[in-house]
Amino acid sequence: MTKLSVNINKIATLRNARGGNMPNVVQAARDCERFGAQGITVHPRPDERHIRYADVRELKPVLCTEFNIEGFPCKEFCELVCEVLPTQVTLVPDLPGQLTSDHGWDTVQQRAFLTDVVQMFHEKGIRTSLFISPEVRMVEGAKETGTDRVELYTAAYAEACEQGRFEQGIQPYVEAAKACREAGLGLNAGHDLSLKNLPYFHQQIPWTDEVSIGHALICDALYLGLPETIARYLQCLV
């Protein structure tokens, strides 16, 4: 079964908008696990506009499921990951101050850099995943870095689905996913996945190991409640 990792960045965004500790990020993560999520994802950025480095440290000892930390491998980020030792680190090519992830790594041009970072995390026993666009060439480049998995950047798929072009939108993802399987790489997916587009994605690529979903899931929870929302996302992955 494909695992659901809930990205709790938006919980932290809401807390930071007012100050204090409401909503409580740690409690929200534990609740997500209690309601069935098989993982928790955070993406601490340098400006700490949502998840803070302190949140990451507080989350690690209380989580019971897989802990996935996303981010650009700057010095501070790498030190945090090596200190906390999550289940998985997902490397993304975000620039400082970037609103949200909007592209994947060029695993060909940046192979040497990524290889060094992957090796560093492997020495700490941390599973690594590279955030890439759905291109076979990028999958092949990722394989050369020694990474364990890739995460397919699914924004283009989600946009195609909004226009009713499910079949056209999924095609490059199926090709990239098959290349991952042939290369022996694990497969994650994330960005703009939702209750509308997740079922078809999973139907076409059922060997996906994990989906990381935050924005849409938290938006749905405002109307449905967190327990019902997580239940519906899990049903998409059956």
The yes-or-no answer on residue 58 being catalytic is no
The CA angle 20-63-233, to the nearest 5 degrees, is: 90
Amino acid type, 85 = L
Q: Using CA atoms, how far apart are residues 21 and 26, in angstroms rounded to an integer? A: 10
Listed in order, strand segments (DSSP E) in 133-230 are 149-153, 186-190, 210-213
Which of the following is catalytic: 70, 135, 151, 210?
Answer: 70
Cβ atoms of residues 110 and 145 within 8 Å: no
Task: Give dist(CA 115, CA 74) in Å, integer.
Answer: 14
Query: Rounded to an integer, what distance in angstroms lies between the CA atom of residue 41 and that of residue 177?
Result: 22
Q: How far is CA 210 from the centre of its chain?
A: 8
> Is 43 among the residues known to form the active site?
yes
Crossing angle of the two packed helices 75-84 and 111-123, in degrees rounded to 10: 30
Catalytic choice (33, 191, 202, 210): 191
CA 236, 169, 186, 73 torsion-angle sign: negative
The answer to whether residues 114 and 147 touch, using CB atoms and an 8 Å cutoff, is yes
Active-site pick, 43, 66, 151, 202: 43
Name the residue with tokens 């992955």: 237
> 122 catalytic, yes or no?
no
Active site amino acids: 43, 70, 191
